[in-house]
């Protein structure tokens, strides 16, 4: 990583994940790439990055079926809705 990390980075609460831990992912069959990983512009892109080569990719994984379901199926359907969504 070029340069020095910004000062707030030192205060970040980072978790180290041990090797061998498993994660899952649910994806829509309409996507050509089941990994769904890319560096294309998205709603999470840093608007200050104007050079495509400087973009970073994001991959969402879950440690339970519930998390994977929420991330894939409900995330976009609940965008902007502030309320509880009970799931058993």
How much is the pLDDT for 85?
65
Tell me, what's the pLDDT at 20? Answer: 93
Predicted confidence (pLDDT) per residue in 19-72, tens digit: 999 999 888 777 666 666 666 666 666 666 677 777 777 778 899 999 988 888
In a domain? residue 77: yes
The DSSP output letter for 79 is T
pLDDT grade for 13, boundaries at 50, 70 and 90:
confident
Assigned domain for 2 exists: no
pLDDT digits (tens, 9 = 90+) for 69-84: 888 877 766 666 666 6
Q: Is 70 helix (H, G, I), strand (E, B) or coil?
A: helix
- The reply to whether 48 falls in a domain is yes
Work out how many domains the chain is built from and give that number. Answer: 1
Nearest to 74 by CA among 60, 85, 88: 85
Its sign, for the CA torsion 67, 73, 76, 81, is negative
User: What pLDDT is recorded for position 70?
Assistant: 85
56 falls within a domain: yes
Domain enclosing residue 28, as ranges: 21-88
């Amino acid at each position: 990583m070029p340069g020095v990390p910004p000062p707030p980075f030192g205060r970040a609460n980072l978790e180290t994940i041990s090797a061998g831990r498993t994660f899952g992912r649910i994806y829509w069959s309409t996507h050509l790439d089941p990994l769904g990983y890319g560096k294309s512009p998205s709603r999470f892109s840093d608007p200050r990055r104007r050079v495509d080569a400087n973009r970073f990719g994001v991959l969402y994984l879950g440690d339970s079926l519930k998390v994977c379901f929420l991330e894939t199926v409900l995330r976009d359907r609940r965008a902007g809705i502030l309320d509880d969504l009970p799931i058993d």
